Structure formats: structure tokens, C-alpha cells
Structure 1
Amino acid sequence: MRYRILGGTGMEVSAYCLGTMMFGMAGNPDHDDSIRIIHTALDHGINFVDTADMYSAGESEEIVGKALQGRRDDVVLATKVHFPMGGEGPNRGGNSRRWIVRAVEESLQRLRTDWIDLYQIHRPDHRTDIEETLSVLTDLVQQGKIRAFGSSAFPAHETVEAYHVARQRGLHRFRTEQPPYNLLARGIEADVLPTAQRLGLGVLTYSPLGWGFLTGRYRKGQPADLSQGRAARAPQRFDPSIPVNAAKLEVVEELVKLADELGRTLPELAVAFAASHPAVTSVILGPRTRAQLDGLLKGATLTLDDAVLDRIDELVPPGTNVYHPVGLWSPAPLTDPALRRRPLGDRAAS
């Protein structure tokens, strides 16, 4: 296993990070089996574990907390905050001081730990001033509850804004960014990754298997089973009759040929590709089963040379997306009607 420094924090993390989104009711509900998978990853040299409070409504954090008993000091533990957690009301989520102060305490309890190594803001919140968010995160560092903090799915311009606000106000700054990145979604190469390099941010990439399209399970000309797993929850993302899915399948066929030439599987090629970019610190692997973890770990032994990377560039040009990754930032004025329409009471009478 290779190790790299995380965003100038001095913390050394494995080049592959264990993502735990699939542990709990959203994926693998068997706590004992999930704990065994976590232990297997640690035994193979992974010392970086990533979760989030909203994964299976806190259940993932609970599983991770149980798994790390007796091994906590050897693990760099990351979690996230932003999405609503239980109950109803307008103030049970977001990036405000009010919510983060409460959410971090609940995460610490579920994780059975006194500190979080990397606390990440799961998504931008355009209702909250970034100075407010950086201020409370700085306080949490000073209180010893977190060691460092980062962002997830932030656009490059908001990363730059946060950097300058931190400098101007004398606050701690984001040390990492966690974006989606894979063979079919290379859009972040255009701005997010270069920005991270210039600002010295560590980068944890997620979704290396492109929401399942890079597992080899979905192939052109083969009937797609839309009744199981992720396909059952979101069939429109897998239906081959939809143009964007057909485009993915076209590229997948060529990538399978390339993987075969290398004597590797498509998932191994996909994982190795994500780790090959110089801006990427660690690639998040999100297995649901032990077999899936074993397959992904094989990609850790693969290094792609320039000839292979050139072949990939011909299939999916650098900085482009075959599809828009799930969860990737979209311009707020385009997605929030409140930011592009005047309130009814502000309109002139007809």
C-alpha cells in the first residue's frame, strides 16, 4: 500500500480509502459482516476510513465506531456534515454554526471517539456565509474535537472563495476536497483538480466505478436488470434506452478491451485510473461485500503508464464527462428557484 500526506496536514494516509456508505440499511445491514470488511481493509494497509452522518441515517457511523474499537489510534477517520438528520424543521441541516455544533457531537457519539481527524462539509450551503462555517470549524479544531476539515463536491470558485476568506479573517482553511472522479466523469480535471493543486489541498475522490457502470456488470447489447441494487432505486440511471446511458455503455466496451489487454478487470483499471492523477491523494473504495473489497484492492497494485493513459484520453478526453456525476455541484441559481424568482409579494400588481 502506498501512503501520501493529506493536504499538508502532516497526516499520512493510504492511497486508497475505505468508504462506508454501503454499510447499514442502505447496503449491507449485517453489522458483523460490515465490521469484518473494515478489519480486512485495515489488515491490507488501508489506514483511512471515510463515512458521513447521513449514511444510513447514522448507522454507518455506528458500524465504523464499533469496528475501530482498539484500533482507533492507527486510523485517520473522516466523516461529513450537511444533510438533514432526523426530525423536521428548517434548522436540522446545512452548514450553520447552530447545526454543525450539534451534528459533530452526535457523530462523535456514534463513532465512539473523542476526535475526528477530517471533518468535511458534505455540500455547499448558499444560505450560510462561508465565514460562519469556517469560524465554527476553526473553533472545533481549537477545542480538539476535530483535527482538520475539508469540503465535498465544492466547485472550484467556492473553494477559492473559502481560501481567501480564511486568510482574510485569520481562520483555519479547508485542507481537502472530496469530488466524484472516474473514467466516465473527468470534468473535475478542468478546474477542481488544478485548483486543489495550487492551493495545496488533499483530494479524496469518490465513485471510481461510476455508479456501477465500471464494474462490468452493465454491457452494451445485454439486458439490464433494473430490479436489483442501485438500478432498482434509480432505474433511469441504468436504462440503456436513455441516450446518456447508451453513451456510457459505448465507452465501457472499449474500456473492457483495454483492461483485457492489460490482463486486468475493468474495476481494477478504474481504480488505478483514479489514483493516477497527481492531484489525487486517495481514492475512496465503497464495497458492500468482502468480495467487492478484494476485487478493488487488486487495483492498488496496478500502475498505468503513459501509453495506457493516452488510450483512455482518446476514449474520454481530459476534463470532460460522459455523464454528470450524481451529487456533483450544480450552479445554485439554476437549481434553487428562490434564487431566480422574485417572491410573490415583491411583484408589481397587474
Structure 2
Amino acid sequence: MPMRPLGKTGVSVSIVGIGGFHIGEPSEQEGIRIVRTALDRGINFLDNCWDYNDGKSEERMGKALRDGYRDKAFLMTKLDGRTKQSAQEQLEQSLRRLGTDRIDLVQIHEVIRDSDPDRCFAAGGCVEALVEAKKAGKIRFIGFTGHKHPNIHLAMLRAADTHGFAFDTVQMPLNVMDAHFRSFEHNVLPVLVEKRIGVLGMKSMGSGILLESKTVTPVECLHYAMNLPTSVVITGCDSMGVLEQAISAAISFKPMDKAEVAALLEKTRAAAAEGKYEKFKTSEQFDGTVKNPKWLETATI
């Protein structure tokens, strides 16, 4: 399994990572099997979130990490809480569900509002909770995620600079259509590379919606994201077949030349123009905290 450095953290992570939401969709036994098989095959990056499947995803991952599997994993989860108190409470719940006393990476989830940067860094905001948790040894690294607009990511990075804070990672959509519309690749990725922040690519297939365009295959989607300066490309695996596809794509990946990249982008240009297939940018379909605003304030699902 190819490995890459996670920014300047000193940690190496697998080129592909397992998405936490999708392991909550099959049976519990199958979800556990997917996680353990991935770890046995050399994938070490595990994604999750406090709110995925009402906490079921974290619980399943916690069960999968028993019997010595925790030592094989670089474990990440996300928190919705914007206040210090809600973030602290959610973190404690995540620690219990995941069955661990330390999470490798915790990220502020769904930074998708113009108000999020100021709110996260405000006195009594969630950043305070994460900094304290890191000092207490409950987490190793801190990052943030978002899928709505690159300008919000850039505002979050500016807010960090203003407060003398440095994120270890940033998670964002990176795919064959993003390059054509509200592009995180063009606008945010160069900043992360310059700052040596770990780049976590997500939505390489947009939960399968990109494939509905009939312009690209799953492996082309994964290889395109892997060809960018990503530390890891996180992909949802709800079956053993999809997991095997991800492993095969990681092992078969070879750097693409400019002509190959140009050809792939040309195939997707027309379909990508207005964000029709990147619904996470253009609709609220994927905005869990918009549907459940209470998650930003409390630790109740």
C-alpha cells in the first residue's frame, strides 16, 4: 500500500482512506469486516464523524479496532460543536464510542458557513476545546473539513493565521469536476501545499453522483485525486467489493502526465460546468448541520 506524509506532522498515511459514514450502512458484521480487512491490507487512515449514522459509525469502528487493530490505524473523527462546551462533550462521546483514550486527528466538521471561521475561533469556541484536548493527550492533531465553497476554507485559514494557530490537516472535495467549478484544487490546494498542511481529499466520486454523468469511471476518479498532492484520498466503502476497488486503485496508481490529466478534465468539462453533479456544493443535500443545527450547540443527536 503506497504511503504519503501527512503534511508536516511526521506521520505517514495510506494513499487511500476508509470513509466512516459508509461503514454504518451494511450490517454491523460487514462494517467491522470492511474496516479490519482494510487495515490488514495496509490501509491505515480511518475517517469518521460524531454524527455519522447517529453515532453508529463510530461505535462500529470502535468494535473493529478491538483485538489489536487500534495499533494499525491512524484514527480520525470530526466534531460539529462550535462552542467549547459542545465540542468537549462530543469529543468525550467519540472517545467512548471509538473505545480509545486518544484520537489521532480530530477535525471541525462542515465549515460551510461564512460565519464559521469567526465562531470557531471566538472566545469559548470549539478551537479552545481542541487545543485543550491536545494538551491533555486526548488528540494528536487538529484539522477542519468543508465541502461548500473554497472561499470559506480560505477564510478559515486566514482566521487561523490571525489567531496564531496552525491546522495540521484540511479536508475538502477534490475530484475530476471540482477543477471546473468553485475549485478547491485551484484555490485552496496551493495554499495547503505552501503551508505544508496535510491534504485530505474527499468526494472523489461525490457519493457516486459524479459517475451518473457517464464521463468517468470509479478508478479514474480515484486516480485523479491521488495524482494531486493529497496525503490521502478518503472513499466510502459499504461493501467488500467497493473496498477491493479502492485497494486496487491505490496499488495500481501511477503518476499521470499532463496529457493524461488534460484528457480526463476535457471529458468532464461540459458535465461539470454548473456543479450539477457536485451537489455538496450547490445544494443542502449533504449538509448534516444545516438539517440539524442543534448539533452545533449540543452533544445530542
TM-score for both structures, normalised by structure 1: 0.71
How has the CA–CA distance of structure 1 residues 288 and 322 changed in structure 2, closer, same or farther, with 3 Å as cutoff? farther
- Separation in structure 2 between the aligned mates of residue 208 and residue 42 of structure 1, nearest angstrom: 21
Alignment partner of 1:297 out of 247, 253, 270:
247
Q: Which amino acid aligns with 1:297?
A: I
Residue of 75, 97, 101 corresponding to 1:114: 101
2:228 corresponding residue in structure 1: 277
Counterpart contact for 1:183–1:210, Cα < 8 Å: no
* 1:156, distance to aligned residue in structure 2 (A): 3.4
Q: Which has the higher contact order (CA 8 A, sep 6+)?
A: 2
Contact 1:37 1:293 in 2 (8 A): yes
| Structure 1 residue ranges (4+ consecutive) displaced by more than 4 angstroms after TM superposition | none
The CA distance in 2 between the partners of 1:191 and 1:181, in whole Å, is 11
> Which amino acid in 2 is paired with 1:202?
G
Larger of the two Rg values belongs to structure: 1
Write the deviation string for residues 68-110 of structure 1: whole angstroms up to 9, x where unpaired. 111112210000001xxxxxxxxxxx31101011110000000
How many equivalent pairs are there? Answer: 265
Return 5+ residue gaps in structure 1 as ranges. Answer: 83-93, 219-248, 256-265, 331-335, 337-350
Alignment-derived partner of residue 43 in structure 1: 40
Task: Tell me how far 1:9 sits from its aligned partner.
Answer: 1.1
* 1:307 matched residue in structure 2: 259
The amino acid of 1:116's aligned partner reads I
Unmatched 5+ stretches in structure 2: 284-289, 291-301
Alignment of 1:187-226 (within 5 A): 187-215=183-211, 218=212
Conserved 8 A contact 2:275-2:282: no
Moved more, 198-207 or 154-163: 154-163
1:56 equivalent among 30, 53, 57: 53
How far the C-alpha of 1:328 sits from its partner, in A, is 4.2
Paired residue secondary structure (2:141): strand
What code does the residue aligned with 1:199 have? K
Give CA-to-partner distance per residue, 1:122-165, whole Å, 9 cap, x none.
Answer: 02362625143322211110000100110001733223223313
| SS of aligned partner of 1:209 | coil
Q: Please, what is the CA RMSD of the aligned residues?
A: 2.2
Q: 1:176 to 1:160 in 2, by over 3 A?
A: same
The superposition leaves residues 299-341 of structure 1 with CA deviations (integer Å, 9 ceiling, x where unpaired) of 1112233321121233346xx75516344499xxxxx9xxxxx
Q: Does 1:95 align with 2:45?
A: no
Deviation (angstroms), 1:200 = 1.5
Establish whether residue 130 from structure 1 lines up as the match of residue 121 from structure 2: yes
After superposition, the Cα gap between the structure-2 partners of 1:321 and 1:80, relative to the gap in structure 1 and judged at 3 Å, is farther
Between stretches 3-12 and 73-82, larger displacement belongs to 3-12
Identity of aligned residues (%): 32
In the alignment, the residues of structure 1 paired with residue 12 and residue 253 of structure 2 have an alpha-carbon distance, to the nearest angstrom, of 21
Q: Structure 2: how far apart are the matches of 1:282 and 1:313? A: 21
Q: CA deviation at 1:20?
A: 1.9
Q: Structure 1 residues 11 and 101 mapped into 2: Cα distance closer, same or farther (>3 Å)?
A: same
Counterpart residue number, 1:233? none
Q: In the TM superposition, what is the alpha-carbon distance from 1:116 to its structure 2 partner?
A: 0.6
CA 1:129–1:60: 2 relative to 1, 3 Å? closer
Aligned ranges for residues 211-290 of structure 1 at < 5 Å?
A: 211-215=207-211, 218=212, 249=213, 252-253=214-215, 255=216, 266-278=217-229, 280-290=230-240
Cα distance per residue 1:260-306 (max 9 Å; x no partner): xxxxxx1111101101012x110001011101111222211122333
